[in-house]
Structure 1
Amino acid sequence: MTPGGGATARIREYLDHLAVEKGASAHTLAAYRRDLDRYRRHLAAVGVDDLTAVTEAHVEDFRVRLAAGDPDEGRAALAPSSVARTLAAVRGLHRFATRDGVTEADVAAAVTPPRPPRRLPKALPVDRMIAVIEAAGDTGVDTDPGRLRDRAMLELLYATGARAAELIGLDVDDLDGLDHPEGGTVILRGKGGKERLVPVGRPACEAVGAYLTRARPALAKRGGPALFLNTRGGRISRQTLWNVVSAAAARAGVAQEVSPHSFRHSFATHLLDGGADIRVVQELLGHASVTTTQVYTLVTVDTLREVWAECHPRAR
C-alpha cells in the first residue's frame, strides 16, 4: 500500500486486491464498490476522510443508519441481509488496511452484522420443474433458435445445479461427452474462479446437442467461444436468463416465483430426497463448506414432516 490512509485510495486498493488476489467476480466487485462508496460518503458527512481517523463508533453509527434509514436524505432502511452484506464490505476494508499497516487496529472487527432471518430455499416439486423446462421449448418440433436455446439452458440448469453466472459463463469447450450413452460432463467455474466437473444427464445432453447443431450456428454472427448466445451473437446476459425462466414458468402455469436459483435449490433438494450423500451434493454445488449445503437437509425434513402429517394415522 501507498503511505497514508485516505479513504478513497484505500477503497480502490482494496477492490484491486479482491479482483487480482481473490479472483472476485465482476458482480461481486460492483456490489462492494457500491457499498464502500456509501460508507465513504457516510465518513465524509461526519468529517472523516482518512481510515486512520475512523473509530469503532463511526462504524457502529454506519450500521445503525443502514438499519434505520435516513428520511432526511430519502434513504429507506435496509433489510438485515443488505445491512450484513454492506458491513461485510466495510469489515473487509478495515481488515485489509490493518493487515497492510495503514491502521494500527481493526476498528470494524467488533461491529457485528445483524443475523438475517433464516429463509429456506424454495424448491419446485419434480413435476413442476419438468413442466417449466418443457415449456421453454420442444427439441422434437421447435425450429426457432431461441426456443431451442432456452430449452437447453433450463435443462442444463436443472441437470447441474449451476449458478446463473456459471451457466452464462459457459463456453462450448466446457462441455464433453454429449453423445455418450450415459451422459456427459461440464466444467463449471464458481466463486473465486474455482472449477468443478459436474455430470450431465441424457435429457440435458440431447437438448444442448440440438441447440448446438440446429440453433447456435444461426445465432453465432461474430464468432466467439460462448455456449449460449443472444440474438446479436453475443453471450447472453443474466437478465435474459431471468426472462427465459420467468416466461417458461408462466407458460407452465406455475404460480410461485421461479428464478434461475430455483433450479439450483431444486437440484440439491431432489438429490437429497433421492438419497444422495450431502458431501456429494456439496461437491456438485461447489460449496466450500458442508454447512452451506446443510440448509437443504432442512427442506427435506420439512417435506418429510408434511408427508407424515398428511399420511400417518396418528399424526393428528
Structure 2
Amino acid sequence: MARIRAFGRKGWLPAFRDATLFKTAYAFGTRRNETRILDAADFGLNPHGTEYGEFGLCRVRFGKAKKGSPPKRRTVLTVWDWAPDILDEWFTEVRPLFGGEGNPAAWPSEHGLRIGCQRLNSRFITYRQAVGLDEGLDFHSFRRSYVTHLISRPAGTEVPPRFMSCGVLPAVDKQICSLERWLIGHLADIPDPDHAQVGRFPLSVDTLDTGSVKIRRSGVPVGDLQVLG
C-alpha cells in the first residue's frame, strides 16, 4: 500500500482500506462477513479500558447464527494496544477520502455502500499471492490467529472472557471438543501423569490455560491450535 501511494498510483485508497480491514479482523477475531458489514458506529468506548479511547470495543451485529436462528450479537473488547491507532487513522484521515457522505459502512466500496464478500475474497487472494503466502491461508486465518495468540498471551486476562469475546462460550461446544480431541492425540505419548489427566477428562475452559502451557512444554507448536470452526 505504501509503495502504491509513493509512486502516485491509483488504488492506494482501496489498498489502505483492505489493510485496515484485515488488521481489524485479526484485532477482534471477526469472521469475514462480520468484518465486512461493520459500521463506523460499531466501534466505541470501553469504560473499563479508557486507554483505548473511542476504539475500546467492537459491536458485532451479524455474528454466526445457528440454523434457523437470527444473527448473534456480541461485543468484543480491544486487547491489542496497536488497534486503536490504526482505526483512528482510518476513520479520521483516510475513510473521508472515499466520499459518500452519510455512508455508515466502516469499509466503503469504490462503487457502492460497502465492499462485497466476493470482492473481499478476490482482494485477499491477490495480496496472498503477491507476498507468497501459503494457499491454505484464507480470511478465517485471522480469527484462528486471534484466538491462538490470546491463548499464548501472558496471564492477565482469564480464559473465559477471552473466548466470550469471540463468541465461543458459554458452554463447552464443538470448538472446545475439537481441541479436546486434538490434545488427546498429541499428548498420548508424553510420560507425564498431568498430561494423561488432561487427556483423560473432558477439557473445560478452566483447564484450557493449563493445557496450552503443557502443550508448549511438550514442544508441540502452539500454532497448531485450531480452536475455531
- TM-score bin (small chain): 0.5 to 0.7
Deviates more, 1:197-206 or 1:165-174: 197-206
Answer yes or no: is the 8 Å Cα contact 1:273–1:300 preserved in 2.
no
Answer yes or no: is the 8 Å Cα contact 1:145–1:211 preserved in 2.
no
Answer yes or no: is the 8 Å Cα contact 1:282–1:290 preserved in 2.
no
Query: Alpha-carbon deviations, 1:56-79, whole Å to 9, x = none?
Result: xxxxxxxxxxxxxxxxxxxxxxxx
Equivalences for 1:120-199 in 2 at 5 Å? 137=1, 144-177=12-45, 181-182=51-52, 184-189=56-61, 190=63, 191=65, 192-199=70-77
Query: Alpha-carbon deviations, 1:198-222, whole Å to 9, x = none?
Result: 1223322222222222322222336
Residue 255 in 1 paired to residue 125 in 2? no
Between the aligned partners of 1:228 and 1:160, the Cα distance in structure 2 is 15
Residue 225 in 1 paired to residue 104 in 2? yes
Query: Alpha-carbon deviations, 1:75-97, whole Å to 9, x = none?
Result: xxxxxxxxxxxxxxxxxxxxxxx
Q: CA shift at 1:278, angstroms?
A: 4.2
Between the aligned partners of 2:133 and 2:218, the Cα distance in structure 1 is 21
Gaps in structure 1 of 5+ consecutive residues: 1-136, 311-316
Q: CA shift at 1:185, angstroms?
A: 0.9
Question: What is the CA RMSD across the aligned residues, in angstroms?
Answer: 3.3
Secondary structure of 1:258 counterpart: coil
Residue 284 in 1 paired to residue 165 in 2? yes
**Larger-Rg structure:** 1
Q: Normalized per residue, which structure has more helix?
A: 1
Q: Determine what percentage of the aligned residue pairs are the same residue.
A: 23
Q: CA shift at 1:194, angstroms?
A: 2.7
Residue 211 in 1 paired to residue 81 in 2? no
Deviates more, 1:226-235 or 1:267-276: 267-276
Over 3 Å counting, the alpha-carbon distance change for 1:299 and 1:213 in structure 2 is: farther
Residue 293 in 1 paired to residue 165 in 2? no
Between the aligned partners of 1:252 and 1:308, the Cα distance in structure 2 is 29
Between the aligned partners of 1:225 and 1:157, the Cα distance in structure 2 is 18
Between the aligned partners of 2:128 and 2:168, the Cα distance in structure 1 is 27
Residue in structure 1 matched with residue 118 of structure 2 by the alignment = 239
For CA contacts below 8 A with separation 6 or more, give which structure has more relative contact order.
Answer: 2
What is the total number of aligned residue pairs between the two structures?
172
Q: TM-score, normalised by structure 1?
A: 0.46
Between the aligned partners of 1:207 and 1:240, the Cα distance in structure 2 is 22
Question: Residue type of the partner of 2:60?
Answer: L
Secondary structure of 2:219 counterpart: helix
Q: CA shift at 1:231, angstroms?
A: 0.7
Q: CA shift at 1:158, angstroms?
A: 0.5
Q: CA shift at 1:235, angstroms?
A: 1.0
Secondary structure of 2:173 counterpart: helix
Q: CA shift at 1:299, angstroms?
A: 6.0
Between the aligned partners of 2:24 and 2:138, the Cα distance in structure 1 is 14
